[in-house]
Amino acid sequence: MLTASAVLDRAFVVGPVRPRTFGTFVEHLGRCVYQGVYEPTHPTADEAGFRTDVLELVRELGTSTVRYPGGNFVSGYRWEDGVGPVGQRPARLDLAWHSTDPNTFGVDEFMAWAKKAGVEPMMAINLGTRGVQEALDLLEYCNVPGGSHFADMRRANGAEDPYRIKMWCLGNEMDGPWQIGHKTAHEYGRLAAETARAMRMIDPDLELVACGSSNAHMPTFGEWEATVLREAYEHVDYISAHAYYYEDDGDLASFLASAVDMDYFVDSVAATADYVRAARKQSKRVHISFDEWNVWYQRRAESRPPTGDDWPVAPVLLEDRYNVADAVVVGNLLISLLRHTDRVHAASLAQLVNVIAPIMTESSAGTAGRAWRQTTFHPFSLTARHATGEVLQPAVTAPPVSTARFGDVPAVDLVATREPETGEAALFVVNRSTTEPVGLEVDVRSLGSARLVEALTLSNLDHTWQASADDATSVLPRPNGTAALADGGLSVELPPVSWTVVRLAS
């Protein structure tokens, strides 16, 4: 058996565990909204049309924030279409996904849903086809108590109290030629700065996210961030990062090492932001909102939007069915986000329901209308539940795994968290080897008189196993009976292609 070792010291603190790391994303895309979070005809629908079976799974998932309403969709969105009497709302063409949006779910429905789900809303504004004034109008609608046109419109629509949304995304992926209203970095940076400055005239305490690169492989990556921040540094709090270049294209070893790419992305964006900080003689730091990330099989048929005269409502789009290896990678990407908690202050798994999502549903039309958990649900839910307190960075020694994309990478990747007040700790670990189990020994003497609470491992002899509505429970995180704690040493056997959480307590 391969062996690896680590030393865990409670003094090696990266930063606090940030609840916003466990955010997700709801876009008007495919069946994420319609037949996902909202389906008035479903047997479990409440009086507002929200699927309560989905709400229960959202709470179990542990998501903290939800970014809305896009995504590419937002760059052509007129928010006014989605408020007021439902019967009077216009249906609109969504150019981003070649679909029709009936606008029966809008800002007020989302805010009511977010309250029921117990999540913090993160609102994105349209800086593709719209600009400063429309952003101010939406902010006024959402956050001003009353006495003005849009605030009183909200009250007339049934929401007496302001929503007081704190986090706002200043557009979406404006570096991408696919984006409606695509701009150069200089054009977007100026617009973002102007919009941010004006929004702060209404509420100076907003937390604003400028658009970074759509992925680290964009030809403008790095220079885009530098140019945008040169224009907007003083006016924004975060620069966004998006990454979907994670899929098993037949090279499983490279796929399992996807977190190497995320590490590079975060380190590069942080370095660029700090360069602009130094150049502009600024005291504050701009941090990262990694507000779109996931495994996504972009070349599959379900990722191709409709064409021609076909503009359907809620078509099946981006409905990837995830397997065990996908779940291991999602768990490893969360490890990357946690170990960068000093710079990544928010993140959003994209997306929440049906669309490259941990939660899947059937429509109630002609079916049982079931909802179920994908494999990726479990590492996210368990990490969100058990990562508390401070993030610790262990010193790790592990055998190398050879990959075509990243060269040699450590077979074992891990991060730990610890709650200083209670002494409770958790280790989140992956074995990236495609064939070999790894015996891991961790020196935890720094934690004091720790005891083993639980060890759970997600793995399967068939790493391609997928959950479905008929079978979502055959492969779940199971107790790992190899875990043991003695004389300040934690030992555990990690199966190949596996994700593990180990919990300790004082």
Question: CB atoms < 10 A from the CB of 114, how many?
Answer: 21
CA dihedral 332, 334, 340, 341 (to 10 degrees): -150
Q: With CA atoms as reference, report the closest residue to 170 among 119, 115, 215, 207.
A: 207
Task: Write the single-letter amino acid at 317.
Answer: L
**362 catalytic per annotation:** no
Residues 6 or more apart in contact with residue 193 via CB below 8 angstroms: 231, 232, 234, 235, 236
Task: Say how far apart CA 461 and CA 277 lie, in whole Å.
Answer: 49
Question: What is the DSSP code string of 239-277?
Answer: EEEEE-----SS-HHHHHTHHHHHHHHHHHHHHHHHHHH
Of 292, 390, 424, 493, which residue is the catalytic one? 292
Reading the block at residue 435, the tokens are 């064939």
Task: Write the single-letter amino acid at 497.
Answer: V
Question: What is the DSSP code string of 124-145?
Answer: EE--SS--HHHHHHHHHHHH--
CA distances from 412 to 3, 442, 445, 459, 498 (A): 9, 12, 20, 15, 10
Helix H, strand E, coil C: the string for 391-453 is EECCEEECCEEEECCCEEEECEEEEEEECCCCCCEEEEEEECCCCCCEEEEEECHHHCCCEEE
Of 27, 134, 173, 493, which residue is the catalytic one? 173
**234 catalytic per annotation:** no
Task: Say how far apart CA 320 and CA 315 lie, in whole Å.
Answer: 14
Reading the block at residue 392, the tokens are 């610790």
Task: Say how far apart CA 147 and CA 83 lie, in whole Å.
Answer: 18
CA distances from 174 to 114, 181, 339, 506 (A): 26, 7, 28, 49
Catalytic residue annotation: 173, 292
